[in-house]
Amino acid sequence: MIAMGVSDALRGVFIPVFAARYHLSGIAQSGIVGVSYLGSLFFLLLGGRLTDRYSKKKVAIALLGIWMASLVLYELTDSYAAIVFGMLFSMGTSTMLCTLVNLLTPLQFGSAPGMVINLLFFVQGIGTTFTQKVIGGMATDISVWKTAILVLLVVGLVMQALLIGYKLPEGAAPAPVEKKQSVSLCQIFGVREFWFLLLAVGMYMIAEHGLMNWLITYCISGLEFSAADGGT
C-alpha cells in the first residue's frame, strides 16, 4: 500500500519536471493526468469482471505485472509519449490493486475488516505524504524520476514474489441461488439517491486529486517557490 501511495503521488510531483523537460503546454500537462484516470476507469471496469471470473490471486499477479511493465517503460525511455502511455497502465493497475485490497481484506480479516482496511489506506497515505514531502523536495530533474521509478520497480519485484508465494483467501464457494433479476441502467438512474452519491463522490475526487496533482505545480509556477519549498 505504501508503494501504491508513492506511485499515485509521483505523477503530480513530477509534472513540473516533465513540463520543463518536454516544453509542455498546460493542455499537454493535463494529458498526463487525464490519461491516468482513463486508465483507472478502464481497469476498474475490466477488473471487476476478471475478479468475478478468475482467481483474485491470479488477477492481482497479472495487474502487478502490468504495473511493473509500465515502470520498465518509464525507466528505459525518455519521451512524453512514453510517459502518457505508461500512465494509462501504471495508474489504472494501481487503482485496481487498491480495489482488490478492499475485496480481499474481509476474507482475510473477517473479524474486523473495517479497521484493517482503514489501517491499510492510512499506510497508503503515508506513502503519498512521503512522496509529496520528501521526493517532492528533490524533484528537480528527470534523473530523480528515474531513480524513484527504479526503487518502485525493485519493491514491485519483492511484492510479486511475496504474492506468488502467499495463499490469498478466495472466500467460500457461493451457494446456489435463484437467478437474479437484472437491473437496467434506467432503473439505477431513476433512483434519486444515486445522483446524490454520484455528486458527493465526484466532487470529493475532483478536489482531492486536483490538489494532489496540481498544488505543487501551482506553488512552483504561480507562487514561484523552489522545488524544495513546493515539497513542504
CA angle 169, 171, 177 (to 5 degrees): 165
Q: What is the pLDDT of residues 157-187, one digit of tens each?
A: 999 998 888 776 655 444 444 555 666 677 7
Q: Which residue has the higher pLDDT, 186 or 98?
A: 98
Q: Which residue has the higher pLDDT, 110 or 12?
A: 12
For 209, other C-beta atoms within 10 Å of its C-beta total: 17
Place of cell 454520484: 198
Q: What is the pLDDT of residues 51-68, one digit of tens each?
A: 888 888 888 899 999 999
Element (H, E) at 140: none
Contacts of 114 (CB under 8 A, 6+ apart): none
The pLDDT > 90 percentage for the chain reads: 19
Q: What is the pLDDT of residues 32-53, one digit of tens each?
A: 888 888 888 898 888 878 888 8
Q: pTM (2 decimals)? A: 0.76
Sign of CA dihedral 90, 96, 155, 148: positive
